[in-house]
Structure formats: structure tokens, C-alpha cells
Amino acid sequence: MKKYDYLIVGSGLFGSIFAHEATKRGKTCLVIERRSHLGGNIYCENRDGINIHRYGGHIFHTSDKAIWKYINQFAEFNNYINSPIANYKGELYNLPFNMNTFHQMWGVITPAQAAAKIDEQRKEARITEPKNLEEQAISLIGTDIYEKLIKGYTEKQWGRPCTELPAFIIKRLPVRYIYDNNYFNDRYQGIPIGGYNVIINNLLKGIEVLLNTDYLKERDTYQNIARRIIYTGPIDAFFDFQLGTLEYRGLRFEFEKHNVENYQGVAAVNYTDRETPYTRIIEHKHFEFGKQPVTWITKEYPATWHLGDEPYYPVNNKRNQELYQKYADYTKNESDVIFGGRLGEYKYYDMDKVVASALHLVEKEFE
Ligand code: FAD
Ligand code: UDP
């Protein structure tokens, strides 16, 4: 007789949602987490009354009404709208690329003038079928914006020239011929009031949790403790890297306290030149419209990733996709283990997609 119905490895959004839904259905769950805190990458650390997004600024956004309703059960969301600023060598531009940006870049006033300017630059570049990120960006938005707002940022972020990066990375960003600085196109957006820990604590209320417990280091103790395992750690680590290591882009966060009420006037400023070593500065209090007398900021430094570092962004190239597929084939022999979440599925998942994927698993598991 196994002690639990489910062992859940990892207390991020994926694991916590699964644990919550399974418990609700009368199943017994144990959640183990290798870090010293719950929540995975959405964890917040409160300092001076400010919720610091410990692993980078997180904004919840979705177009899916059911997902929005679901997540709102666990926290009340504020009306924060992400409107980052780009700083290129002291010149400031609104993001995403919209009429404000075009006006700041060229002095144009009407959408027709902006479109003509972009079209002129596109034609000069003579790109017919974009083959890489550079060509994709130029054909989307012209050379000026590419040179000032995309090239430096992207090369820092991914550690490679834009000519060697896939075009799809840049397709995440909206391009608009209206005056609208909302970074996302989604219908619903906000920050949970009180930070993301409110969501995780509500999801895991009454559920048994062990922190500082690494499943892979204590397999003997845990692998037979439950009927099934939900594993949300890196898929290659589960199989002892037998086929090789999946690559990630690393990140280093530098936290600073400043004795001013307002450091930069907005939650996110992107430094889009190549020379500034960090990609962005997050001022956390603005996510919740804080009025504290002091402030906390984080500088985000992209970094080369080495095995053992925290994995952040999956590197989506052919090699890694093929390798992932081979590991995914291995999982078919693990009938009692389910792999989920951004590390288990090696996917650049936003939070709403993680919620959807966890709920999909719940449906499958308990249908
Ligand atoms: P994780 O949060 O990574 O949770 C996995 C957990 O498993 C971790 O706590 C880990 O410690 C634990 N674990 C791993 N291995 C083991 C083991 N062997 N034993 C025990 N525990 C283990 N999404 C948005 O929607 N909006 C944003 O603005 C946004 N910003 C982001 C900014 C950055 C810098 C990054 C990196 C991501 C961002 N995301 C954003 C994505 C978001 O962080 C993820 O979608 C979400 O946190 C993934 O949840 P998860 O449960 O799949 O994974
Ligand atoms: N990007 C850019 N300039 C910016 C912001 C983003 O060139 O000021 C590019 C960059 O290549 C980045 C991609 O757009 O990797 C996606 O940006 P997003 O803000 O979605 O990245 P994330 O928040 O996921 O790091």
C-alpha cells in the first residue's frame, strides 16, 4: 500500500495547481520542493512592505476567460497594465512598438506616416523572405527600431548575433499603428494583490509540503511513496542526462535597495543598447502601486548557463528540440510518472499556459 496517491515534485504553479485539484477530489498528496521556499519562479520576497519578484518581474496576462476566472479564485488581481520603457543610450521610447514609439523615433504623427517610414526602410533592406531574427525584425519594423530597440537587447538576452537566432522570438512582441503602450494584446491582465505567494499559499492550503527536498537526490525515499508522481523538474535530469544536457539561457539578478520613494517611475525599463550589461531594471513596488518611503530594484543580467545553475529560458533550437523529443520518448516507459510544467516539458511557457496545461492534466487524470 502506497502512502500517498500523488507525490508532486516541485511547488511551482504547475505542481501547486495539480496538488490543489487532486486534494479537492479526495486524493492524498505530498509536495516536495528542492528550494527553501514554495512557488517556483513566481515566488515573491517581501522586503520593506514591497513584494519583490525574486525570479524576475511576472505579469499575469491571458485571453482565456476560463483561465482568468480560475486564477482569480486564489487571489484578487489589481488593474496593473505592463507598459515598459526602452532606454537606448539615454533616449526613451515607449514599448511595445506603437504610434508613441514611432513618434519618438521619427517625429511622425499619423499611422500613414509611420507606415510609410517603415515601408521605406523595409524596401531599402531588400528582404523578401526573412531567414533569421534580424531579417524578421527589419521587415516587421524597419532598420531604425531594429538597431536601437531590438539588436542590442536581443544579442545580450540570447548571447548570440540576431542573424543566428530564429525569427519567432520577436513575433511575441506586438506592433501597433495606434497610440497604445499596453505590452500585451491579451484581454485580461494584472498582478495578484499581495504578490504571487497569495496564490500559491491558497492552492497549497492544508497540503503536506517538504521544502529543501530534492527528489533526484532522495529517489530511494520517495519513488515508491505514492501511486503516481507528478514531476515538474528538468526532464533531462530525471533521466540522469543519459542522452545529453538540454540547454538553457541563464539569468543573474542583482537586488538593490534605494532610499527614495520612486527610482524610475515605472515597473520595467529595458536597456536596449549592447554595452549596458543588464537587459532591464525592474522596480517592484510599481506592480502594486506602492507608496513606501524606500524602493527595491532588480537588474537582470543574462548569463551563460552551466549545468547546476537555475534553468530559466529554454534555448529553442534544432538540437535541443530533437534532444527533448528523445527524452519525451523515454517518458513512455515511466507509466507512473507524469512530466509537466516549463522544465518537465522544456517549453517557454507563460503562466496562463502553465495553468491551462495543469488543468488539462487534471481533466485527463480524473475524467
Ligand atoms: P517552476 O516555477 O520552475 O517550478 C518548478 C519547481 O520545481 C521549482 O520550484 C523547482 O525548484 C522545483 N524542482 C525542480 N527540480 C526538483 C527536484 N529534483 N526536486 C524537488 N523540486 C524540484 N510568465 C508570465 O505569464 N508572465 C511574465 O511576466 C513572466 N515573466 C517571466 C520572467 C522570467 C525571468 C522567467 C524566467 C519566466 C517568466 N514567466 C512569465 C514564466 C513563468 O515563470 C512560468 O510560466 C511559471 O513560473 C512556470 O511554473 P512551473 O511550475 O512550470 O515551473
Ligand atoms: N525584445 C527586444 N527589445 C525589447 C524587448 C524585447 O528586442 O526591448 C525582444 C528580445 O529578443 C526578447 C523578445 O523580444 O527575447 C521577447 O521579449 P519579451 O519581453 O516577451 O521577453 P521575456 O519577458 O519573456 O524575457
Architecture of the CATH domain 4-77+187-241+315-366? 3-Layer(aba) Sandwich (3.40)
Task: Please report, as a single letter, which amino acid is at residue 295.
Answer: T
The C-alpha angle with vertex 264 and arms to 258 and 266, in degrees rounded to 5, equals: 125
Closest ligand 2 atom to Cα of 169: 13
Q: Quote the ligand 1 centre to 55 CA distance (angstroms).
A: 9
Q: Which element (helix H / strand E) includes 202?
A: helix 197-203
34 is catalytic: no
Rounded mean pLDDT of 149-164?
95
> Hey, whose CA ends up nearest to atom 24 of ligand 1?
350
Q: Quote the ligand 2 centre to 21 CA distance (angstroms).
A: 33
What is the predicted pLDDT for the residue at 221? 96
- In this prediction the pTM is 0.96
219 is catalytic: no
What is the predicted pLDDT for the residue at 1? 80
Percent over 70 (pLDDT), the chain: 100
**In the predicted model, is pLDDT for residue 168 greater than 90?**
no
Q: What is the pLDDT of residues 196-250, one digit of tens each?
A: 999 999 999 999 999 999 999 999 999 999 999 999 999 999 999 999 999 999 9
Rounded mean pLDDT of 80-105?
98
**Given the residues 54, 93, 146, 176, the one annotated as active site:** 176
Q: Is the CB of 193 under 6 A from ligand 2?
A: no
Q: What is the pLDDT of residues 298-313, one digit of tens each?
A: 999 999 999 999 999 9
Q: Quote the ligand 1 centre to 239 CA distance (angstroms).
A: 20
11 exposed, middle or buried (CB, 10 Å; 0-12, 13-18, 19+)?
buried
172 is catalytic: yes
Please name which of 198, 161, 150 lies closest in space to residue 16, comparing C-alpha atoms. 198
Q: Quote the ligand 2 centre to 307 CA distance (angstroms).
A: 24
Q: What is the pLDDT of residues 176-186, one digit of tens each?
A: 999 999 999 99
What is the predicted pLDDT for the residue at 95? 97
Please name which of 81, 84, 58, 75 lies closest in space to residue 352, comparing C-alpha atoms. 58
**In the predicted model, is pLDDT for residue 79 greater than 80?**
yes
220 is catalytic: no
Q: Domain limits of the chain?
A: 4-77+187-241+315-366, 96-170
* Ligand closest to the CA atom of residue 162: 2
> Hey, whose CA ends up nearest to atom 8 of ligand 1?
40
**In the predicted model, is pLDDT for residue 173 greater than 90?**
no
CA–CA distances in Å: residue 325 to residues 306, 307, 321: 21, 20, 6
